[in-house]
């Protein structure tokens, strides 16, 4: 993309009233592809994410990634003056994203009717634990709770141990992705199909539940309750992790019918090629323990790298289990520009994740990282809606910004 090329979402104006993960991750994706995102934080303390995980000079390293490409302002919308400024900002926006508990905006005087009156073409995206209605709507809902209620935690771990977490806040992130999808669909309806404003309602537990594959129809028709199975993939064979000779593990997913026949040759079990017990997945699933034992005996003779190289040379899906140290040195990550070194005023540069998805004509771009200072863009943003230097100074002295 040349410097003069337009971004995919150039011209789209987004107002973010969110904190932590779900709302801010949604708007980060929009900002990566050129949307003008104005992030609103409370004065003094700002987004709680600023103090999460690993801090450097008092600021979370995660913050710089989550708030990249955004304009950050501080504004207390709970005050009369702050609310008026918010309304002025809202008039100029296409999209409002918020991830507070349902009803919070209404308490501040921003009901759906008021929002539509301020901006009749506004797309509003509400992200919450349980959705905007239903008996649980007023409960506090973090990603962990959505993962539990949506079924993911029940399936994660080994059958003889308590359920465990995935390792990241996947409930928030999946809800963010659905929010982006919903926003783009609503914008298409508004701008292409002559629609108008629309409300998007994304619940964390529903976002996770939607990923649960065949769990519901299996229970409905066959009474099957899917359980924790550790590293195996129930009903799919073979798909597991296998120990190598250096006590590391390789992931092998040879569950395609033809792929498994090739695998038998690679592990020196040509005698089983064409065996009726292993020709189709449903047959292999009945003999998964036997198959896993065959593969395990073979992988113990090789290192992870040797296993991965041999298997991939024979068209069998296999891979090492990467740590972040592996990722930053891997040639695939580098060639796909998934490790970006972005300029940072204090560190010189900071490595951050690259852009997903990749568009060949209007790709996303990391233009800047999240600002360290709360309200870093107050003057620029507030002047753009007509406020003077004096008015901005007064707002600051009154702790409204």
Q: What is the CATH number of the domain that holds 143?
A: 3.40.50.10540
Residues 191 and 137 in one domain: yes
Number of domains in the chain: 2
What does the pLDDT read at residue 1? 44
Structural domain for 262, as ranges: 239-320
63 in a domain, yes or no?
yes
172 catalytic, yes or no? yes
Sequence length of the chain is 401
Residue 220 lies in a domain: no
Q: Is the entire prediction scored with pTM above 0.95?
A: no
> Which among 81, 172, 191, 275 is annotated as catalytic?
172
| SS3 assignment, position 381 | helix
Pair (301, 351) in one structural domain: no
Tokens coding 367: 């233009």
Residue 7: inside a domain, yes or no?
no
Query: Which is nearest to 314 in space by CA: 261, 352, 367?
Result: 261
**Do residues 120 and 161 share a domain?**
yes
Task: Specify whether 78 is located in the same domain as 43.
Answer: yes
Q: Is 340 part of a structural domain of the chain?
A: yes
Q: Is residue 111 part of a domain?
A: yes
The answer to whether residues 205 and 127 belong to one domain is yes
For residues 199 and 77, state if they share a domain.
yes
Q: Average pLDDT for consecutive 10-residue bins of the chain (401 residues)?
A: 74 96 97 98 94 95 97 96 96 96 94 94 97 95 94 96 94 98 98 94 98 96 96 92 95 96 97 96 96 97 97 97 96 97 95 96 96 96 96 95 95
Residue 4 lies in a domain: no
* CATH number of the domain bearing residue 287: 3.30.1540.10
* pLDDT for 352: 97
Distance CA 302, CA 313 (A): 15
Instruction: Tell whether 2 is covered by a domain.
Output: no
Residue 330 covered by a domain? no
- Round to the nearest angstrom and report the end-to-end CA distance of the chain: 37
β 249-253/318-320 pair status: antiparallel
Whether residue 295 is found in the same domain as residue 196: no
Of 287, 320, 353, the one marking the end of a domain is 320
187 and 256: one domain?
A: no
């Amino acid at each position: 993309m040349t410097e003069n090329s337009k971004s995919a979402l150039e011209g789209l104006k987004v107002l973010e009233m969110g904190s932590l993960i779900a709302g801010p991750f949604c708007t980060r994706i929009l900002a990566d592809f050129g949307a003008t995102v104005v992030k609103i934080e409370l004065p003094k303390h700002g987004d709680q994410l600023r103090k999460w995980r690993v801090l450097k000079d008092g600021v979370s390293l995660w913050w710089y990634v989550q708030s990249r490409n955004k304009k950050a302002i501080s504004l207390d919308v709970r005050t009369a003056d702050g609310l008026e400024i918010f309304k002025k900002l809202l008039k100029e926006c296409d999209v409002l994203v918020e991830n507070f508990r349902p009803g919070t905006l209404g308490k501040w005087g921003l009901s759906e009717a008021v929002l539509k009156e301020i901006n009749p073409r506004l797309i509003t995206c509400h992200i919450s634990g349980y959705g905007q209605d239903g008996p649980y709507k007023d409960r506090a809902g973090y990603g962990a709770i959505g993962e539990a209620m949506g079924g993911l935690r029940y399936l994660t771990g080994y059958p003889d141990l308590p359920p465990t977490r995935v390792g990241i806040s996947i409930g928030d992130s999946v809800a963010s992705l659905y929010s982006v999808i919903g926003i783009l669909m609503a914008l298409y309806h508004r701008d292409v199909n002559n629609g108008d404003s629309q409300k998007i309602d994304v619940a964390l537990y529903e976002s996770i539940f939607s990923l649960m594959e065949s769990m519901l129809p299996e229970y409905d028709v066959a009474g099957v309750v899917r359980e924790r199975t550790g590293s195996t993939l129930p009903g799919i064979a073979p798909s597991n992790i296998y120990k190598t000779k250096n006590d590391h593990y390789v992931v092998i997913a040879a569950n395609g019918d033809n792929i498994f026949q090739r695998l038998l040759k690679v592990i020196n079990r040509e005698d089983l090629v064409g065996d009726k017990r292993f020709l189709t997945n449903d047959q292999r699933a009945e003999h998964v323990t036997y198959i896993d034992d065959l593969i395990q005996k073979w992988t113990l003779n090789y290192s992870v790298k040797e296993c991965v190289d041999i298997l991939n040379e024979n068209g069998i899906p296999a891979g090492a289990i990467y740590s972040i140290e592996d990722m930053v040195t891997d040639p695939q990550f580098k060639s796909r520009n998934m490790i970006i070194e972005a300029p940072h005023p204090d560190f010189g540069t900071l490595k951050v994740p690259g852009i997903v998805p990749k568009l060949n004509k209007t790709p996303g771009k990391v233009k800047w990282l999240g600002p360290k200072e709360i309200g870093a863009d107050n003057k620029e943003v507030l002047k753009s809606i007509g406020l003077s230097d004096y008015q901005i100074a007064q707002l600051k002295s009154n702790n409204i910004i």
